[in-house]
Structure 1
Amino acid sequence: MFDLTEKHAVVTGGGSGIGQAISLLFARQGATVHILDRDEAAGQQTAQQIQASGGQAHAYAADVSQQAQIVDIFQRIGRADILVNNAGIAHVGNVENTSDTDFDRVYQVNVKGAYNCLFAAVPLMKAQGGGIIVNMASIAAHVGLTDRFAYSMSKGAIFAMTLSVARDYLSSNIRCNSISPARVHTPFVDGFIAQNYAGQEAEIFAKLSKSQPIGRMGEPAEVAALALYLCSAEAGFITGCDYPIDGGFIKLNS
């Protein structure tokens, strides 16, 4: 089950965190993984880790907000059986303290970045007879989160684009779904805590962990496992759906 042999999978933001976990897992399942990351060294490190284990991987320095650059990379890759739109950035603030620069920065990466990859990948998928897309949304697309105005905007857009692409390309054999994680323990979380709560790291980590009803943060590998299912033949009857992976956050928080 969940065999990706001979599949070419493009993973944006594959150099760290959830994207890295997805890249590693997809490679173990037989896919040739193409890692797009603004941090070229991180992307190369993930690719080398895959190669050292006998897998196939390539890394590309990529700014997803730059359409011409992304189209060129996809043309060089030549085939995209799977696209995982994972690259994204965060922002803390409400509408009053979110500057237009902040808003545009989040939009350019989280929204336009996903659009650029869809714009580049869908024609390839149509030409080859089909493909699978997973977009990384968030619980912020479903519930109100304090001080996440721009981030929530961007993930709401991801959720809506997922539905649109799923509907538009039914006849092209392209499936499109999204995943909505709650807080996942990544290096970004550790860095955020260290930068903003120096000396209180353990206390803040515990507080953030308990914000999920299940009592802990998610792990990147858990999100990767869900992405693998959605990108496998076993999920062939699923399109236009969003999958919260949130420790009960959406339905069980009171």
Structure 2
Amino acid sequence: MIILDLNNRHGIITGAGQGIGRALAVEFGSRGAHLLLVGRKESTLTATAQLVEAAGGTAEVLAQDLTLQGSIDRVAEAVGSWATVDLLVNNAGNVRAGRLENTSEADIRSMIDLNLVAPLLLTRALLPRLRAGADRDSIVLNISSGIALLGIPFYSVYAATKAGLARFGESLRRELTGTGVHVATVYPGATDTDMMTSQNAAASPGWERRPLDDVITDLLAGLEAGDHEINTSPEGGRGMQELNTSDPMAIDAAMAPGLADLEAAVRDHRSI
């Protein structure tokens, strides 16, 4: 069994100003990491950096909108002087729920550009550094979503980006066999983070939010064990995911009666 050493990593975490990105930064910091924290708001990144340092790590911050021209180059340049880069966490993402015909082109492009295009370009830019890891595997950790495994109504664009990220990770993992780069994909279900504050479906069966600490615990345990596919969805959600594989029309039938209520519950879900 492969055991990944998570200690003393040197790497980049995107979307590090809040939620899963911040929690991962602190956890890697507690293991002695030196991190470049990337996100749109310098104030939240600075707050994360303080938490990383309090936990025992060190951090630099780079306020950057990864959807803008030149942003990927600026991230790569920020770690250009580092002796080692052996961690990349593609976590930054955004969501806009609602019926497809009511979703603006701007919101569609925003989700595609941040959730899918940015991780592809950033991974491409950093691969030469990641492959140059000295005595242990480097890590590329892609934060997908349980919605990549079970498409949910009113999340069609978000689901497309997260499923795309998952298949990117799977393909890249096979492409990099034997190169010393460990590619892992995480599938969080609904998680109690700021990104979920505008979504009101939490009280519905199957939409219960897992505590962030529990999700991070499962994520790191899977990563340390050398897993490539890490599902942190609640057990109930995994049952639905399995049924979706064996009998997807049963999922359609189960969801149909509640579509109106679900649409009302998620119509304000937006982090763009």
CA contact (8 A) 2:49 2:61 kept: yes
Residue 127 of structure 2 is matched in structure 1 by: 122
* Mapped pair 1:211 → 2:218: no
Match 2:85 to one of 72, 75, 80: 80
Structure 2 residues without counterparts, runs of 5 or longer: 242-253, 255-272
CA offsets 1:20-58 (integer angstroms, 9 cap, x no match): 111111111222222111111101111012223442122
Give the TM-score normalised by the residue count of structure 1.
0.83
Instruction: Show the 5 A alignment for 1:146-157.
Output: 146-157=153-164
CA contact (8 A) 1:67 1:116 kept: no
Instruction: Show the 5 A alignment for 1:88-103.
Output: 88-103=93-108
CA offsets 1:182-204 (integer angstroms, 9 cap, x no match): 111112222x15xxxxxxxxxx4
Q: Distance in 2 between matches of 1:44 and 1:94?
A: 36
Q: In the alignment, residue 212 of structure 1 is paired with which amino acid?
A: G
Q: 1:181 to 1:230 in 2, by over 3 A?
A: same
Query: Greater shift after overlay, 20-29 or 223-232?
Result: 223-232
Q: Distance in 2 between matches of 1:63 and 1:181?
A: 23
Three-state SS of the structure 2 residue aligned to 1:91 is: coil
* Mapped pair 1:251 → 2:256: no
CA contact (8 A) 2:29 2:56 kept: no
Residue 118 of structure 2 is matched in structure 1 by: 113
How much has 1:122 moved relative to structure 2?
A: 1.3
Give every structure 1 segment of 4 or more consecutive aligned residues whose post-TM-superposition deviation is greater than 6 Å. Answer: none
Q: In the alignment, residue 211 of structure 2 is paired with which amino acid?
A: E
Q: Distance in 1 between matches of 2:37 and 2:222?
A: 19
Q: 1:68 to 1:119 in 2, by over 3 A?
A: farther
Q: Distance in 1 between matches of 2:4 and 2:216?
A: 12
Residue 220 of structure 2 is matched in structure 1 by: 228
Q: In the alignment, residue 21 of structure 1 is paired with which amino acid?
A: A
Q: Distance in 2 between matches of 1:168 and 1:23?
A: 27
CA contact (8 A) 2:32 2:56 kept: no
Query: Greater shift after overlay, 53-62 or 35-44?
Result: 53-62
Q: Distance in 2 between matches of 1:91 and 1:142?
A: 18
Q: 1:55 to 1:128 in 2, by over 3 A?
A: closer
Give me the CA root mean square deviation: 2.3
Q: Distance in 2 between matches of 1:59 and 1:211?
A: 39
Q: Distance in 1 between matches of 2:205 and 2:232?
A: 15
Match 1:16 to one of 7, 15, 18: 18
Q: In the alignment, residue 43 of structure 1 is paired with which amino acid?
A: L
CA contact (8 A) 1:132 1:231 kept: no
Q: Distance in 2 between matches of 1:181 and 1:119?
A: 24
Q: Distance in 1 between matches of 2:56 and 2:180?
A: 31
* Mapped pair 1:162 → 2:132: no
CA contact (8 A) 2:206 2:237 kept: yes
Provide the identity percentage.
24
Give the TM-score normalised by the residue count of structure 2.
0.78
CA contact (8 A) 2:223 2:230 kept: no
CA contact (8 A) 1:11 1:86 kept: yes
Residue 201 of structure 1 is matched in structure 2 by: none
Q: Aligned pair count? A: 235
Structure 1 residues without counterparts, runs of 5 or longer: 194-203
